[in-house]
Amino acid sequence: MSENQDILVHTEDGVRTITFNRVDKKNSITEAMYTQMADALASAKADAAVRVVVFQGDVAIFSAGNDIADFLKQAATPGAMGGDAPVWRFLQEISAFPKPLIAAVCGPAVGIGTTLLLHCDLVYAGDNAAFSLPFINLGVCPEAASSLLLPQMLGYHRAAEALLLGEPFMAEAALEVGLVNRVVPPSECNALAQAQAKKLARKPLSSLMETKRLMKGGQTRAVSERIAEEGAVFARMLREPAAKEALTAFMEKRQPDFSKC
């Protein structure tokens, strides 16, 4: 178990489970949580005893995305949103992770709560799952190479609807477009992901890793480059009027006014 109780890391029978455990804050992600998840992935990659990694949350909430107060604090620190920031390190680790990744998603999955799923190999959703990508509504741009991967997965027009409008779509819609593998009752979701992880953990690791590498088709470099490009744009846009208005409005619990942005 981890020192920071907002993220729990548990390894058993070849399966490492990373659990969002900040339910009182809707599992919103802080800089410290990104660091811990990146560390958990890096050590899992290096440890031959870890064969599969599972991400999971609570039956009512997967993740509300970035903790806005923590995010604003980091954004105000010169250089804090650079390429070595914990969030970008986490994205590089998950996007290049060579072993199987599974996610169990119940309730809202906002922003990075959805985009991290693009790097998972199997995704199971509770029928209460709601996915949203509100980057434009926050005055910024997509991250996690979602501007590259979403059009590939959903097709351009569906990806444009998800990214340009930023409106939630539910589990059945995610199943239809291939973002998730199966939809089950929320009470069964984490158990299903664990059962599938245990199946994979019993298979030859070399075969799992080579098959994943071949399916990715040399895409890892393109994804890494897009994450870096998005990160640079994201950092710039955080300093611009639209993001400042959106984030201030969020903290003040009012509708943003983009009429001058």
Contact 124, 199 (CB under 8 A): no
State pTM to two decimals.
0.94
Contact 58, 106 (CB under 8 A): yes
Transcribe the chain into DSSP letters: --SSTTEEEEEETTEEEEEE--GGGTTPBPHHHHHHHHHHHHHHHH-TT--EEEEE--SS-SB--B-HHHHHHHHTSTTTTSTTSHHHHHHHHHHT--S-EEEEE-SEEETHHHHGGGG-SEEEEETT-EEE--TGGGTS---TTHHHHHHHHH-HHHHHIIIII---EEHHHHHHHTS-SEEE-HHHHHHHHHHHHHHHHTS-HHHHHHHHHHHHTT-HHHHHHHHHHHHHHHHHHHTSHHHHHHHHHHHHTS----TT-
Entry field: residues in the chain = 261
Question: In this structure, what is the dihedral angle of CA atoms 239, 243, 244, 247, given to the nearest 10 degrees?
Answer: -130
Specify the pLDDT at position 261.
85
Token pair 């970008």 in the structure block, residue: 88
Residue 29: partners with Cβ closer than 8 Å, 6 or more residues away = 20, 63, 65, 66, 67, 112
Q: Place 3 in a pLDDT band, splitting at 50, 70 and 90.
A: low
Q: What is the pLDDT of residues 82-139, one digit of tens each?
A: 667 899 999 999 999 999 999 999 999 999 999 999 999 999 999 999 999 999 999 9
Instruction: Using the predicted structure, report yes or no on whether residue 1 has a pLDDT greater than 60.
Output: no
- CA 71 from chain centre, in angstroms, equals 16
Q: What is the pLDDT of residues 165-219, one digit of tens each?
A: 999 999 999 999 999 999 999 999 999 999 999 999 999 999 999 999 999 988 8
CATH topology of domain 7-185+204-210: 2-enoyl-CoA Hydratase; Chain A, domain 1 (3.90.226)
Q: What is the pLDDT of residues 17-50, one digit of tens each?
A: 999 999 999 999 999 999 999 999 999 999 999 9
Q: Where are the domains of the chain?
A: 7-185+204-210
Contact 62, 107 (CB under 8 A): yes
User: Which of 63, 166, 173, 161 lies closest to 107 in space, CA to CA?
Assistant: 63
